[in-house]
Structure 1
Amino acid sequence: MKKNTTERRLFRYALSNKKTINIGLVCLLIAVVLELAGPLIAARIIDHHILGIESTWYEVENQTDKTVQYNGKTYIRADEIASDKAVLGEASILQIGKHFYFSEAVLPLDGSRTYEDGTIKVDSPQGAEEAAGTRLSAGELYDFFRPQFQPIIILLIVYAALLFIAAIFQFWKTFLLQQASNKIVRTMRNDIFAHTQRVPINYYVDRPAGTIVARITNDTEAIRDLYERVLATFVTSFVYMGGIFVAMFILNAKLAAICLLVIPIFWAWMKVYKYFGTKYNKVVRKTVSEINGSINESIQGMPIIQAFNREKETEKEFEVLNKRNFIYQRKLMKLSALTSHNLVTVLRNLAFVAFIWYFGGAAVTGGSIVTVGVLYAFVDYLNRLFNPMTDAVNQLPLLEQARVAASRVFQLLDEKGEGVDLEAKREKNRGEIAFKDVSFAYNEKDYVLKNLSFEVESGQTAAFVGHTGSGKSSIMNLLFRFYDHQKGIITIDGVDTKDMSRQQVRSSMGIVLQDPFLFTGTILTNVTMNNPDISREIAIKALQAVGAEQFISKLPKQYDEPVKEGGATLSMGERQLVSFARALAFNPSILILDEATANIDTETEAIIQRALEVLKEGRTTLVIAHRLSTIMHADQIFVLDHGEILEKGNHHSLLKKQGQYYQMFLMQQSGIKQSAG
């Protein structure tokens, strides 16, 4: 199945708000039509109402609001006379130099003109003609202009009204498109964050947290710019350019056809930018992601960096990434400098050269030249044509950044996720666990668990001991279905865990880790995890049951005491007690303790051990332990070595065997005596 392109998937996200976008585009189209009507109105004012005085005039008998009195006669412009109006005579008004002249003869309106000794001479393509003429005074000229004042004022009012209405539609266009953009990016961020919770655990094992954070924050921010600024600008620009070309063709088809040459140039130019921009931006986005990962790692490991005087080395490692980012950002700047405003200016100037050449050639050959109003409107449209082009070109860097960022986001979304079935809850189970010939490898080849079989009955405590890499944590990972085993069967209450959703399996389990993790919030919210089924009273009882009341009572806000990231304001033992209370509040059937007392000092260990007894009561408990003293009362102890069970039994039976467990116990006892001595 062929994968969808990045552009297609971005478009699909846009369709989620198509109603808002469509309304915004309608507002844009209306605004463009209203704004582009301006030059046409200006051309009408110039050609018809201002320069229209230079025309053939007819002598008529009756006066109207469109007639002019001159030398005791009444005249009306040829284009304003009614078809049934009687004509008593004809005359012409021509502009020669800075002055206007009146002649009682009909003279050509095109061609070169001169006035000498009361005679007007016109040399037109049809031939030379001359007639007597009189120069109009300022007052007489004003009289001829008077009938045009009212229509000019009306057209100017219409022009201003159109601009005002266009501004209203522009506001709604901007508001609606940006609103849609924010909704789209909100949806995308929700999708990617939700997907990070469906992606298998091994995805996070192979990648630094900072690089994943960069995709959710930095990359989606670049996509937000795409929807909010880039696409809005491109759509606006293309609509404007389309409208301008339509208006140009209405004015003069030949000139508009010449201007169409900028489109293939613009297209080729975008292709070139896309090729190089994508290549450079891929490096930039990847480097920024690595920089985030490096910063995240350095902040978390700052005590180690300072303790081992690694400041300079860490700075050098960071500078390698920072320098790479600088180099490729500079390449992008060069590319933008070559293909942005400078190139638009060149195209604009070439268009004006072609424009001047066209009119110059027409003037030299004596061909027809467009009117001044059309000339003004065309120059106005030509200027307007390059403004949206400049806007679009200036967004090309952001466009390529967003495309590369989107490809990285979709790459994460394409990672195979696991189904989430939060609604499907199993009834509280008995907690009987069985592994039958289970084999598991993280890389599908090197097995860390080999044909493992054991059973733990409901309410029993089973402990797993062994050297590092023996497979203790892998057993817990399989039981929680963080990973799935390749061979064998794991059952809870006789039901294969693979026949249940991951959420169903985990709904009956609780876990306490060696290094307990607390979230930003309060002590209570870290116990309830904002689960509506766990009330404040249940959470407080859980904290009291594990003995956390002893330190909570000394806090200023007690149960509502703020907890910072990772629980940095609490000691290790205090954090562990809160994590015990969390597990107790969720009331699991199966409890997993992963080195829960490994990092606890001996004074705190007594409190923790009492909390553990409360926590284990009535539950099936699996314990991973290094301190054998903490598992002496376990019902079963499994000694692991390279993924296999070497020994199993209780504490006393394993000591009698004098095997691997016995040797481990002797080593720890001698270590305790030496530390005590």
Structure 2
Amino acid sequence: MTVGKRLFLVAVHFKKTILLALLMLSIAVAAELTGPFVAKKMIDTHIMGIELPWYETSEQPYAVSYQGKWYTREDHLSETDQRGKEVRILQVGRFYVFVDRPVPLDGERVLGDAELTIVKGNERAVYPAQKLSSQEVFAFFRPETMGLLVLAALYGGLLVIASVFHYGQKFLLQKSANLVIKKLRVDVFAHVQRLPVTYFDHLPAGKIVARVTNDTEAIREMFANVLASFFTSGIYLIGIFIALFLLDVRLALVSLIILPIMLVWILFYRRFATRFNHVIRTRISDINGMINESIQGMPIIQAFRRQKETLREFDELNDDLFAYQNKMLRLNATVSFNMVMLLRNVAFILFIWYFGGASLGVGTLFSLGVLYAFVDYLNRLFQPITQIMNQLANFEQARVAAHRLFELMDEPGIDVEKGSIGRYQGKVSFQNVSFAYLQDQYVLKNISFEASPGETVALVGHTGSGKSSIINLLFRFYEINRGEIQIDGQNILQLPKQFVRQHMAIVLQDPFLFTGTIASNVSLNDPSISRERVEKALQDVGADLLLRTLPKGLDEPVIEKGSTLSAGQRQLISFARALAFDPAILVLDEATASIDTETEGIIQQALEVLKKGRTTFMIAHRLSTIKNADQILVLDRGEIVERGRHDDLMELCGKYYHMYQLQQGSSAVAPAG
């Protein structure tokens, strides 16, 4: 499905608002484009109409008195009205003259002493003429005053109507654009939370943030301004060409030449703009990723004095972005304003060359009113073309941004299942489980063990031995390659991932706290966890002693990552979080590794509370913290090489014994025998 079609499907959710806006836009354009027709009527009928034949009549509403006689213009007489002698009022330069007879010939006019000479080609005619004073001219125009006032009021009314409906359509189009982007942002953010953990292993957080923020903002700009301009310009173009065909078919056909020229120019522009914008959006994403990484790693950058190198890497990305933005700038400067001005100037040159000389005389190819209206419409014609060209750059940027955004949304996610599963007992069984992050590079090989409900299982081994991989498979962050994992005798692959994790909790070595309060970090704003339950969880893990010094207690604000709290306080809050959710299976991923000795004592006491009635998995480098584990699994290169309780493993004098002896130093005592 194309990007345009997918954006259209998103916009369809708000079709009523958009269609109402387009209806208001159509009314506004129709009102606005009716103006030149009104002006044409004013010029041809009420101003230039003075040169129509006049007839000597009796006094009546539209009659004009001149030298003791009454004259009425032809278009104000009905077929039944009495008509006397025909006379003419003609304009010669800045003056008007009265001719007391018909004037069949029209051409170049020359005013002499009491006579008017008209020359057209080889024909020449002379008529007696009387130059009219200003008061006499105004008298002949007086019958048209009311018509002019009515048409002027109509013109003004049309402008008011157009203004009101333009305001309405702009408001509704902007509103619908914001609604579309609001929905799109929610959809993208919801999908990001459905993505498997493996996706985030290969894409920096800053790049994902750029897609959710920068790319959606570019799409918002497209809906709010670009598409609004395209809709407006499209309706204007349709309305203008309809008006031109109603005005004069020949003029409209000549004007149609502009459309294929514009189409070819747009295709040329898009060919280069798409390529440039892809690079620009990618570089912006790279820069966001690098900024995010640099901020998170600022202590390391400053401690190792890597500021210059980091700045150099940033400069390289920024220079590349700058180069492509300049290419885009040159392309926009060439295509947008310059292109429209070129088309406009060529159109006016052709108009003056072809129509100007032939149409200056009254009664020739076109009337003056038609020429005025055509020039007006020709000016209006280039306004929407200018808008389209000026918005092409934003349109291409938004199209590329939408392509990147839909790429993210096309990543397969995990469907959120409705319902829940009853709290399981917590019996965990790994049966010949093998797993590889990369194909055929196994980090776990035929892992088999059982953990009974309420049992504590410790996983130990050197870095890379496979301890964390076992936990990742248990949570189904990754899927096993071979073997089977069971909880209470049921294969976890037969359960939705949310059900598997529903009664599990994890405490990490580096606990993650969200912006909010201590209470919200314990409950994670779960409505099923009451404030009393939060307080009890904090008390049970001993956190109330360390948090007592905080001014607002449970309502103490927590900023990003909980950086205002000590490592011990953060860890205790994460322990309380795990306890508040009452898991059947608890995972402690080196949860005491970064804790001082005093706090570790508090946590060790809290662990006894946490482990009651729960199957607990502990990953620990400090072997002194797992001496009381019911089962210790010693891993080496993805295999279980030893298993048993602490005393049993010490008696083996194997890998676990040597690891423990190395950690304890001289205080380690070798087993007898």
TM-score normalised per structure 2: 0.97
Alignment of 1:171-182 (within 5 A): 171-182=167-178
Partner of 2:41 in structure 1? 44
What is the alpha-carbon distance in structure 1 between the residues aligned to residue 464 and residue 127 of structure 2? 114
The one-letter code matched in structure 2 to 1:660 is: K
1:6 aligns with 2:7: no
The one-character-per-residue Cα deviations of 1:573-613 (angstroms, maximum 9, x if unpaired) are 11000000000000011101111111112222111111222
Partner of 2:197 in structure 1? 201
Partner of 1:644 in structure 2? 639
Question: Contact 1:108 / 1:124 at 8 angstroms: preserved in 2?
Answer: no
SS at match of 2:438: coil
1:444 to partner: Cα distance? 3.1
Partner of 2:135 in structure 1? 139
Over 3 Å counting, the alpha-carbon distance change for 1:671 and 1:340 in structure 2 is farther
Over 3 Å counting, the alpha-carbon distance change for 1:607 and 1:109 in structure 2 is farther
1:363 to partner: Cα distance? 5.2
The one-character-per-residue Cα deviations of 1:310-364 (angstroms, maximum 9, x if unpaired) are 1111110110001001101111111111111111111110010011012245259
* Alignment equivalent of 1:81, drawn from 77, 86, 96: 77
Alignment of 1:459-474 (within 5 A): 459-474=454-469
1:120 to partner: Cα distance? 2.3
What is the alpha-carbon distance in structure 1 between the residues aligned to residue 415 and residue 223 of structure 2? 30
Partner of 1:518 in structure 2? 513
Partner of 1:101 in structure 2? 97
The one-character-per-residue Cα deviations of 1:195-242 (angstroms, maximum 9, x if unpaired) are 111111111111111011000001110010000011101111111111
What is the alpha-carbon distance in structure 2 between the residues aligned to residue 126 and residue 425 of structure 1? 101
Partner of 1:17 in structure 2? 14
* Alignment equivalent of 2:29, drawn from 28, 32, 40: 32
Flag as ranges the 4+ runs of structure 1 deviating above 6 A. 364-367, 671-674
1:392 aligns with 2:392: no
* Alignment equivalent of 1:440, drawn from 411, 415, 435: 435
* Alignment equivalent of 1:355, drawn from 340, 351, 354: 351
Partner of 1:376 in structure 2? 372
Question: Structure 1 stretch 659-668 or stretch 556-565: which is displaced more?
Answer: 659-668
The one-letter code matched in structure 2 to 1:389 is: I
The one-character-per-residue Cα deviations of 1:531-571 (angstroms, maximum 9, x if unpaired) are 00001111011011111111211101011000010010111
Partner of 1:169 in structure 2? 165
The one-character-per-residue Cα deviations of 1:38-75 (angstroms, maximum 9, x if unpaired) are 111111111110111111111223x2221111122221
Could you say what the CA RMSD is over the residues aligned between the two structures, in angstroms? 1.6
* Alignment equivalent of 1:603, drawn from 595, 598, 605: 598
Question: Structure 1 stretch 621-630 or stretch 99-108: which is displaced more?
Answer: 99-108
1:127 to partner: Cα distance? 4.4
The one-letter code matched in structure 1 to 2:132 is: L
Partner of 2:329 in structure 1? 333
Alignment of 1:217-616 (within 5 A): 217-360=213-356, 362=358, 368-421=364-417, 423-616=418-611
Question: Contact 2:107 / 2:118 at 8 angstroms: preserved in 1?
Answer: yes
1:117 to partner: Cα distance? 3.2
What is the alpha-carbon distance in structure 2 between the residues aligned to residue 409 and residue 238 of structure 1? 27
Question: Contact 2:467 / 2:619 at 8 angstroms: preserved in 1?
Answer: yes
What is the alpha-carbon distance in structure 1 between the residues aligned to residue 60 and residue 200 of structure 2? 88
Alignment of 1:57-72 (within 5 A): 57-61=54-58, 63-72=59-68
Count of residues paired in the alignment: 669
1:22 to partner: Cα distance? 0.3
Question: Contact 1:209 / 1:293 at 8 angstroms: preserved in 2?
Answer: yes
What is the alpha-carbon distance in structure 1 between the residues aligned to residue 566 and residue 363 of structure 2? 93
What is the alpha-carbon distance in structure 1 between the residues aligned to residue 607 and residue 292 of structure 2? 34
What is the alpha-carbon distance in structure 2 between the residues aligned to residue 315 and residue 24 of structure 1? 48
The one-character-per-residue Cα deviations of 1:75-115 (angstroms, maximum 9, x if unpaired) are 11112211211212211111112111111211137312223
Over 3 Å counting, the alpha-carbon distance change for 1:487 and 1:248 in structure 2 is same
What is the alpha-carbon distance in structure 2 between the residues aligned to residue 363 and residue 212 of structure 1? 64
Partner of 1:55 in structure 2? 52
What is the alpha-carbon distance in structure 2 between the residues aligned to residue 208 and residue 268 of structure 1? 40
What is the alpha-carbon distance in structure 1 between the residues aligned to residue 667 and residue 400 of structure 2? 58
What is the alpha-carbon distance in structure 1 between the residues aligned to residue 104 and residue 342 of structure 2? 40
1:369 to partner: Cα distance? 2.9
The one-letter code matched in structure 2 to 1:262 is: I
What is the alpha-carbon distance in structure 1 between the residues aligned to residue 666 and residue 462 of structure 2? 16
Partner of 1:629 in structure 2? 624
Question: Contact 2:106 / 2:363 at 8 angstroms: preserved in 1?
Answer: no
What is the alpha-carbon distance in structure 2 between the residues aligned to residue 136 and residue 484 of structure 1? 101
The one-character-per-residue Cα deviations of 1:398-419 (angstroms, maximum 9, x if unpaired) are 1111111111101101111111
What is the alpha-carbon distance in structure 1 between the residues aligned to residue 545 and residue 360 of structure 2? 102
The one-character-per-residue Cα deviations of 1:226-275 (angstroms, maximum 9, x if unpaired) are 00011101111111111111111222221221111111111111111111
Question: Contact 1:577 / 1:611 at 8 angstroms: preserved in 2?
Answer: no
Question: Contact 2:100 / 2:128 at 8 angstroms: preserved in 1?
Answer: yes
What is the alpha-carbon distance in structure 1 between the residues aligned to residue 378 and residue 292 of structure 2? 52
What is the alpha-carbon distance in structure 1 between the residues aligned to residue 458 and residue 199 of structure 2? 29
Question: Contact 1:524 / 1:560 at 8 angstroms: preserved in 2?
Answer: yes
SS at match of 2:5: helix
What is the alpha-carbon distance in structure 1 between the residues aligned to residue 360 and residue 214 of structure 2? 60
What is the alpha-carbon distance in structure 2 between the residues aligned to residue 125 and residue 505 of structure 1? 99
SS at match of 1:212: helix
